[in-house]
Structure 1
Amino acid sequence: MTNDEWKSPPERGDEKSWKLLEKTLLATVEERRRARRWGIFFKLLGFAYLVALLAMFSPALSLREAARSGEHTALVEVRGMIADDEAASADNVVGSLRAAFKDKHTKGVVLRINSPGGSPVQSGYIYDEIRRLRAEHPDTKLYAVITDLGASGAYYVASAADAIYADKASLVGSIGVTAASFGFVGAMERLGVERRVYTAGEHKAFLDPFQPQKEGEVRFWQEVLEVTHRQFIDSVKQGRGERLKDKEHPELFSGLVWSGEQALQLGLVDALGSASHVAREVVGAEDLVDFTVRETPFDRFAKKLGSGVVERLGVWMGLQVPVLH
């Protein structure tokens, strides 16, 4: 193309092409502006949603703070399984108890329990902390109140309290230890499946459900459970003291569970009553202020994710920890 051709005005068809290209570019720019505006809109909408959530919870928080302005009975819940990845973990319960005892307006603490038990380690942590807090705050009494169920590890925790209350129909006790699994050896033989396990250490794969049991390993595992059970019994005796009516009762520490009325006769509980009854009639501060740590959905998701990895690792290793049930 010569210089004259370059400087010459465009043909009519070329002019239309340039206008079409210009319109396309302008439309693209406008589309991007529109997308940017929508992006800003959704971000503002998300922010407004968070503000609305805070507004929803702020009245409850302000009411709780208002309740704390006078004497009250602090309430801490132990609900569900006592385990590291559950709401009733030692971290959550201990943190709640510390906050309850620390509050200057707390006249007494009610530990309201509805739990089948769980980890002996987590239960032991809570038990030890209750006894430490009671020694540190001798003027602030802690009362365990069992609602539907206070069994095994949950009763372990309750036995550290100044007194235990229950309903006449509550289920109380189950002072025992269990560790259960399955055996798939026969099924594998019928299916023609061969189990291959490679270990370093003679007993590294002990209690593998896909291999026949070995008498020596079963005996060893039973000894572990017996030691854990004895620790449980010693803690209950230390916590309850002379209030246990018959410490040599043949069934008392056998893992059986009793109704609240029967537990009262055995000395496993001190009296019958609800949390509100204890707050009103025993503590003398009718207002109950909940100090229970409430996990956010994100906290629960993160814990489930982490615990899932640990559980899978435990299954892969063929190991199951004892449980207070």
Structure 2
Amino acid sequence: MRHLVVAAVGIMLVSGCQRFVVRTESRVAMAGPLDTRVTAEMPPVNPHAGPVKPVVVQAGAGRVAIVDVDGLVLNAPFVGPLSVGENPVALFREKLDAIEGDRCVRAVVLRVHSPGGGVAACTAMRRDLERFKERTKLPVVASLLDVAAGGAYYVASAADVVVAEPAAVTGGLGVILNLFNLQDLMAQFNVIPQPIKAGELVDIGSSARPLKEAEKQMLQAMADEFHKQILADVARSRPRIDPARAFDGRIMTGRQAVDAGLADRVGDLDDALQVAAGISQPGGAAPRPEVVLYRRANDPARTVYAVTPNVPLQGAGLLPNLPGLDRTKLPTFLSVWQPELTMEKLGGK
């Protein structure tokens, strides 16, 4: 019996004690019947490939560092094949620390392409950014790309200048806790919960039963508290903001964000880089800046738009991906534009 082992570099054939490797980019054709066993090996990218280091993606004068905020923001490692397996909150802090130690950096551009994420995770990132600005005195410009909503905008609002793409989707300054009542669904499969609990409210938010009114009021009070803190911080950073338009959780375009005070001007990432260069070099038109991203050795970057592959593949389970069905590590309070209830799976949850 021959075995086929499909690896990242090609195909290895094993026959008895002999083996040979066929390297191919597509397919292997063999004459005659072949009894095989195929194994796919797709290990995640090694997240321990040394510290982040500056990678020049644009030549110029005067270094501007890009710090990217991409994808769903959760204070947890993203795991699985094709993922770097990193914690977005920890990686954000590491990049800020690296920039602080790089004396060549004259300004920072926060490149935001994220719907937001956990309230606690986004709060930690905003606090890190505020303390970084206080220590370094470096100008920070936020560039809002395709989606910069919820907690992602909350982080970006701490920048000195906010530049929004015309077609950006931003805003979404709300707090949500997605809870589901699966009692009837469980009953169809004869799944009857029998909890043993000490503490009447220890199972608050359980999918196995409906929320009681008192429990709903408790959770609503928590969401309101988190929301008030987000709004207070954003209003402090963005004094021109229109609370009536910005604080009810609505989303808006880049141009609408400028009108509502969430952004200062409309422009793309190149515009944001030029604004950052101009702030760092006042007194005339700033030259095209040198731009760097901070990446690990196994995570290449060649343009200012380079994104780290941090979305894991999801395995095919026995049960369908229904909202609330797989909630071992979520719920959590989210500040996120989340029209698709199952998007939490993007975080490897």
TM-score when scaled to structure 2? 0.64
Tell me, yes or no, if structure 1 residue 277 matches structure 2 residue 276: no
Higher relative contact order (CA 8 A, sep 6+): 2
RMSD: 3.3
Helix, strand or coil at the partner of 1:291: strand
- 1:294–1:161 CA distance, 2 compared to 1 (3 A): farther
Match of 2:292 in 1: 289
Over 3 Å counting, the alpha-carbon distance change for 1:267 and 1:292 in structure 2 is farther
Q: CA separation in 2, counterparts of 1:81 and 1:63?
A: 24
Tell whether the 8 Å contact from 1:93 to 1:292 is kept in structure 2 after alignment: no
Aligned residues: 252
* Structure 1 segment 1-325 matched on structure 2, within 5 A: 64=56, 71-84=62-75, 85-86=77-78, 89-138=88-137, 140-240=138-238, 242-244=239-241, 246-247=242-243, 249=244, 251-283=245-277, 284=286, 285-292=288-295, 315=327, 320-325=331-336
Shift of 1:181: 2.5
Deviations 1:231-260 (A, max 9, x none): 1111111221x221x23x1x4211110000
Looking at structure 2, the residues matched to 256 and 117 of structure 1 have their Cα atoms a distance apart, in angstroms, of 14
The one-letter code matched in structure 1 to 2:183 is: V
Aligned residue for 1:109, secondary structure, equals strand
Q: State the shift of 1:321 in Å.
A: 1.4
**Counterparts of 1:122 and 1:293, CA distance in 2:** 22
Q: Are the equivalent residues in 2 in contact too, given 1:143–1:161 (CA < 8 A)?
A: yes
Q: Determine what percentage of the aligned residue pairs are the same residue.
A: 25
Q: CA deviation at 1:125?
A: 1.3
Number of the residue aligned with 1:48: none
Equivalent-residue separation in structure 2 for 1:214 and 1:121 (angstroms): 25
Change (3 A) 1:135 1:199: same
Match of 1:110, SS? Answer: strand
C-alpha separation in 2, matches of 1:172 and 1:63: 29
More helix by share: 1
Shift of 1:102: 2.8
Aligned-partner Cα distance in 2 for 1:294–1:127 = 27
Residues 62-93 of structure 1 show CA distances to partners (whole Å, capped at 9, x for unaligned) of 9749969x621111111111112245712111
Deviations 1:127-155 (A, max 9, x none): 111111211222x2000101101000100
Shift of 1:103: 1.4
In the alignment, the residues of structure 2 paired with residue 176 and residue 232 of structure 1 have an alpha-carbon distance, to the nearest angstrom, of 9
TM-score (norm 1): 0.68
Shift of 1:320: 1.9
More strand by share: 2
SS of match in other structure, 1:104: coil
- After superposition, the Cα gap between the structure-2 partners of 1:270 and 1:177, relative to the gap in structure 1 and judged at 3 Å, is same
Aligned residue in 2 for 1:4: none
SS of the aligned residue for 2:185 comes to: helix
How far apart in 2 are the matches of 1:267 and 1:62? 33
Contact 2:58 2:292 survives alignment (8 Å):
no
Distance 1:181 1:71, change over 3 A: same
Hey, what does 1:6 align to over in structure 2? none
Query: What is the Cα deviation at residue 198 of structure 1?
Result: 0.8
Find the aligned partners of 2:249 and 2:234 in 1 and give their Cα distance. Answer: 13
User: Secondary structure in 1 aligned to 2:92?
Assistant: helix
User: Could you tell me whether the CA contact under 8 Å between 2:166 and 2:253 is conserved in 1?
Assistant: yes
Q: Which runs of 5+ in 2 are unaligned?
A: 1-16, 22-48, 79-85, 278-285, 300-308, 315-325, 337-349
Residue 324 of structure 1 aligns to a residue in which SS?
Answer: strand
Cα offset, 1:324, TM superposition: 0.8
| CA positional deviation for 1:264 | 0.5
Within 2, Cα distance between the matches of 1:109 and 1:315?
A: 37
CA 1:221–1:257: 2 relative to 1, 3 Å: same
SS of alignment partner, residue 131 of structure 1: helix
